[in-house]
Structure 1
């Protein structure tokens, strides 16, 4: 029986990807205007960004335990292998909830072939890990091979990104009020990355003009084997800059493919409009 891949909506993959590789998806929840929405299903990222531009502060919450329990139980009863590849445990409680429900379901079905992996990745960086696993699953690979490959890609996935306004990260508890205020005042644009699943500032750039050039330089310093890689770019409703970044990368590194997607509602609610994120491997593509 083929292995099924489960991801959550923080992977920022498109419906096309889910359909092409038969990936199952669970949604994080977005809270806006006193209503609850399912990320990737019942709210568009654009509507979240427009609300933020109007000064609203959307909130998010993790996937519910009951959602995982229902899915895991159905796979346990069918004895079908399922690998849930999760959003970074440092940025959401969704992985921990999935792990807890895996253990609960296995109390009743001890031999259930259910596996939960923490990628420590986010957005399309996480999405690329899911896609690699799903490609293997589609080609008939076994559980061990898929877990090994997903773990490798997650471990070596670089996240280099910038936000248009530090205020959004402050509201989400990611930077201090002082940093947000000083950054906005001085027009400082931060370059951040993800280290062991956590958001970590890397550099500060004064003004926007040098930003994309510096991001490409960091890619060259940290990455390798670009010709064999699928590079990921995600953006907070700024397709123009995302495509500009993609053009520079194509010209300089000629990668195998570049996937461009909008940062989804759940991550976008914290990063804000104007976010640009770049994802690539710092080791050879496998």
Structure 2
């Protein structure tokens, strides 16, 4: 049987992971001297509540190779078991490298470790496809080959409500953050091929939603369901979804609350969308 394993930066809730038959391995989130297992001891609402009052930004620690060895060993209980692992891009964490080290300790087993090139809700379209193929009886090799092909087409955009946390994290200078806040500038972050960049700066939420909706309408492969995220902001999420629906004709989407890996830079109030493009963006 093919076992699908992801890390907690995918922001898939435990209950949904259990329903899908997906194993989620948690990273560690550290606020000062306190450590929490991402998505286990520290859920999104609790994370953002603590983020709002902390002096120093929290840090995340990658999953160790030892933890992965234990997870892989349990997943390979039967001799015919295989593993397909989808992990946060190596450009944002060493978790993928840890999984590779663990894989190499089981040289005779079929373990396919994939650098997703994305993170957070950008992983969800890939996870959904992997689950579908597993349920249809595909082998681990077939699933891995398909995900390697599709990952080049994943694009993630997220609009920030505040510049405070991006500045704290060193993504933008303090002067730019102060001026941007006074002018109600909303930066739009784009993640593709593991790279995080500020793609565009606009004035106000509606302009940000307009830009992301128009880009999605031009790029989105409508045979795949998009993934929408929000950071503890139901009203902004509703407004954003209405804009996506009116521009793209979107009728269904997956929604997950934003977790620590991107939330540490976005802060609360962020909304975003990830989807598969019709053509690779390279």
TM-score (norm 2): 0.90
Deviations 1:221-274 (A, max 9, x none): 3x1332x22111111111222222222323333336211111013432232111
Change in Cα spacing, 1:224 to 1:164, as seen in structure 2 (3 Å) is closer
Counterpart for residue 231 of structure 1: 226
Given candidates 153, 159, 165, the residue that maps to 2:162 is 165
Match of 1:165, SS? coil
CA distance, structure 2, for counterparts of residue 100 and residue 175 of structure 1: 34
Q: 1:246–1:258: 8 Å Cα contact kept in structure 2? A: no
Cα pair 1:48 1:58 within 8 Å, conserved:
no
- Please give the secondary structure, in 2, of the residue aligned with 1:180: helix
The separation in 1 between residues aligned to 2:87 and 2:132, in whole angstroms, is: 17
In structure 2, distance between residues paired with 1:175 and 1:29: 25
C-alpha displacement of 1:168: 1.1
Q: 1:68 aligned to 2:74?
A: no
1:260 aligned residue (221, 245, 255): 255
Among candidates 128, 142, 156, match of residue 131 of structure 1: 128
Within the alignment, does 1:272 sit opposite 2:270 as a pair?
A: no
CA distance in 2 between counterparts of 1:245 and 1:10 reads: 23
* Aligned equivalents of 1:118, 1:282: Cα separation in 2: 18
Query: Residue 188 of structure 1 is aligned with which of 180, 185, 189?
Result: 185
Q: Which runs of 5+ in 2 are unaligned?
A: none
Task: Provide the C-alpha distance between the structure 2 equivalents of 1:32 and 1:132, rounded to a whole number of angstroms.
Answer: 34
Displacement of 1:41 in angstroms is 0.8
CA shift digits 1:177-222 (9 cap, x unpaired): 444344334322111211321101111102333221121112123x
Partner of residue 3, structure 2: 4
> What CA deviation, in whole Å up to 9, does each residue of 1:81-131 have, x standing for no partner?
01111111111111111112222x13xxx2111111001111111122112
RMSD of aligned alpha carbons: 2.0
> How far apart are the structure 1 equivalents of 2:98 and 2:179?
37
Q: Which runs of 5+ in 1 are unaligned?
A: none
